[in-house]
Structure 1
């Protein structure tokens, strides 16, 4: 998926118009349209600001990963990394059990 396609998807998911996003970035709506059609690429600073405004990671927006992490998910992961090793083990054990259960349910359906 291209930068433009991801930008369009993220903007629509956020419920923002091109004009609203452009205003937040200090530019005009037609510039957002050119980004979304992949006719133009933003500066790294503008792309980072877009990612922040649209609540997606810059890596996802520019296509370096297909894992779409929102700000809340990133904050949760950061909190887990701050935990004591034993507490991390408990969190991951619960997560692993839930993932296993979900995969099993998907196979049975």
Structure 2
């Protein structure tokens, strides 16, 4: 039993790109049969294949596996978080104040719907 359920993520990501199993197989240099096995959760991709999948889908391996600190974030979100972490303390505090204001306002709007 595959508790990671990578297959559903692969299917979802493949369909978002409009790719067939054959298209994905060509992109990662694998066989269509192996893609089918991954999608049915009959087999787990090797580490090498997991990295290839992450690269072609432009996601992190954490996202593919559904595990880890950033498993729900795509690469763009992770890049933004890393950029924020590299800001000086005062700039980060200002940015967080702006974000907090937007979040507070959004929550208030939802509460009054």
In which range does the TM-score fall when normalised by the shorter chain? Answer: 0.7 to 0.9
Q: Displacement, 1:62?
A: 0.9
Contact (CA 8 Å) 1:57, 1:68: kept in 2 or not?
no
Q: Displacement, 1:67?
A: 4.9
Contact (CA 8 Å) 1:10, 1:56: kept in 2 or not?
no
The residue aligned with 1:38 is 41
**CA RMSD in angstroms, aligned pairs only:** 1.8
Residue 61 (structure 1) aligned with residue 68 (structure 2)? no
Query: Where does structure 1 lack aligned partners over 5 or more consecutive residues?
Result: none
Runs of 4+, deviation exceeding 4 Å: none
Q: Give the one of 6, 9, 15 matched to 1:6.
A: 9
The residue aligned with 1:51 is 54
Q: Give the one of 79, 102, 108 matched to 2:106.
A: 102
Q: Give distance in 2, aligned partners of 1:14 and 1:73.
A: 19
Contact (CA 8 Å) 1:22, 1:32: kept in 2 or not?
yes
Q: For this pair of structures, how many residues does the alignment match?
A: 109
Q: Give distance in 1, aligned partners of 2:6 and 2:110.
A: 32
The residue aligned with 1:80 is 84
Query: Where does structure 2 lack aligned partners over 5 or more consecutive residues?
Result: none
